[in-house]
Amino acid sequence: MNTARNKPGVRANSNSNNGNGEASATSSKSAKRKRARNRKSRAKQNRAFWGDESRLPEAPKTAPVTTDPASVIVSLGRPPLAGHEQQAGHYFEAVAMRAVAIGSAIAAAGEMLDAEEL
C-alpha cells in the first residue's frame, strides 16, 4: 500500500520507490548497468587520447639534480604571512630541499643519476 497517497502535498512516484522509501530492484540494477557502461566508455576514451606511443619523445637517460632547490621559492619573494615571513621562508625552503632529496633518491634507484655529477 502506498502511504504517500494519504498525505497531502506528497506525490507518489512508482518509478523511484516501492512505497516504503526503498528503490525497486529493477531500477537499481539498470542504473548499475548504465554506470558500468559509462565507465567502460570513459576507459576507452582515455586510452585513445594518448595516441601512438612511437610518436612520444625519447625518455631522458639521466636526471640532473639542482644545486639550489629553493631558488624558485626564493625568487617569489618573502611569503605574505605578516609577522611570520622568516619562519615561513625557512619551512618553504626545507620542503623544497626534501622534495629534491626524495626525487634524487628515486632517480638514483632508477639509475638515472650521472655518477660524475655527484
Q: What is the pLDDT of residues 15-57, one digit of tens each?
A: 545 555 555 556 677 877 777 776 666 655 556 656 777 888 8
pTM of the shown model: 0.50
Closest alpha carbon to 1 in 12, 9, 10 = 12
SS3 16: coil
Does the structure show a pLDDT above 70 at 115?
A: yes
Q: Are 113 and 62 a contacting pair, CB within 8 Å?
A: yes
Instruction: Give the per-residue pLDDT at 63.
Output: 86
Q: What is the pLDDT of residues 89-98, one digit of tens each?
A: 899 999 999 9
Instruction: Give the per-residue pLDDT at 22.
Output: 52
Q: Are 85 and 79 a contacting pair, CB within 8 Å?
A: yes
